[in-house]
Amino acid sequence: MFSAKLREVGKEARWEYLEALLSSVLPGDTVIVQYPLWTNNTEFELEFINYLKNVRHAKIVAMVWDIVSWLQDNRERDYTKDASLWMLNKYDLVIAANPKMGKRLREEGGVTTPMIPMHLTDFIYNGPLIPKQYKKELYYVATGIDPAMIEEVPSDLRINFIGPNNQVKDFPDHVSLLGPMESNDIPSKLDGGFGLLYYPQKGGYKGMHRYGEYNNPMKLSLYLASGLPVVCLSNTAHAKWIKAQGVGVVIDNLEDLGEAINGVSEEAYYQILDNLKPWQRAVTSGFFAKGAAIEAIRVLNLGFTDTLIHQEGNND
């Protein structure tokens, strides 16, 4: 239900919706809420929070999926007055994407609610996987083919785009379009090479390139679920983890892409595939969401503080 409908029905009807949705919540329960709710209605989201806290007497946790302000805007300005950020201070606990995002929420977003990291986003999948071949080419999955992406990716490697194309008419020879696919169909189609994690600097969402330094990309989760080695920039939140776990390649600049991929031997590639196996099982089974939920209860109900994201210190 979106903003216009929520405004149209009025406060009394919205209250009835909340009663119907949340009447099973008991005092003392811990409720984990996908954040944002994607209603585009700040008034209703506040009513939702207040109903859980003041009527149902529950503890509420925001599992942060995206920060809309930072997707759409990359200006140097005060974001603490944006609803997508100040509303997090209405929750009892925030599950941030990862420690780096948590620190940005604290320092640039003014979020004072205690935070724990999710680390990775899950991609639930129990379908078939295709054996991976050693090949020096890329896959890139997107909700739409961005002309800026075509322009910014170096031309010395073949790149296979998965997603709808409504903007680009002419493609260079190194680009292949595989068309749109349902998310759950993609893992069975990725047959080798590498999955690229990158947001173009001049893309349609103005804040997305910088946001990509902090978020848990769904692309990463999909590539891991597919058992596909990944490539990311060294300034992203998961770069150290990818390098330490040996599940992909880390580069400083997109211009280094060809050299980095060509530097991976066949033996090294198949070692990466072996390294990926436990992480593939983890993300496809909901391991990280389950772990974050248990950790939230551990913090809120038992009082542990050892996993909280702190403003200072490493916390990686």
Among 130, 45, 33, which Cα is nearest to 86's? 45
3-state secondary structure of 30: strand
> pLDDT tens digits for 30-42?
999 999 998 888 9
pLDDT attached to residue 206: 79
User: What is the average pLDDT across 107-112?
Assistant: 97
Domain ranges for the chain, please list them.
Answer: 3-118+287-302, 133-284
Task: Please choose, from the candidates 110, 7, 64, the residue with its C-alpha nearest in 3D space to the C-alpha of residue 289.
Answer: 64
* Rounded Cα–Cα distance for residues 81 and 123 (Å): 32
Distance CA 114, CA 92 (A): 7
Centre a 10 Å sphere on the Cβ of residue 187 and count the other Cβ atoms it contains: 23
Mean pLDDT score across all residues of the chain: 93
Predicted model pTM: 0.93
pLDDT of residue 254: 93
- Cα 58–Cα 61–Cα 66 angle in degrees, nearest 5: 145
Whether the pLDDT of residue 99 is over 50: the answer is yes
The CATH number, out of the four listed (3.40.50.960, 3.40.50.300, 1.10.10.10, 3.40.50.2000), of the domain defined by the range 3-118+287-302: 3.40.50.2000
For the domain bounded by 133-284, which CATH number is listed?
Answer: 3.40.50.2000
| pLDDT on residue 250 | 98
Q: Report the DSSP pairing between strands 133-141 and 59-64.
A: unpaired
Report helix, strand or coil for 16. helix
Q: Quote the CA–CA distance of 220 and 195 in Å, as a whole number.
A: 8
Q: Is the pLDDT confidence value at 313 over 70?
A: no
Same fold, 3-118+287-302 and 133-284: yes
Could you report the per-residue pLDDT of 137-182, keeping only the tens digit for each?
Answer: 999 998 888 888 888 888 889 999 999 887 777 788 889 999 999 9
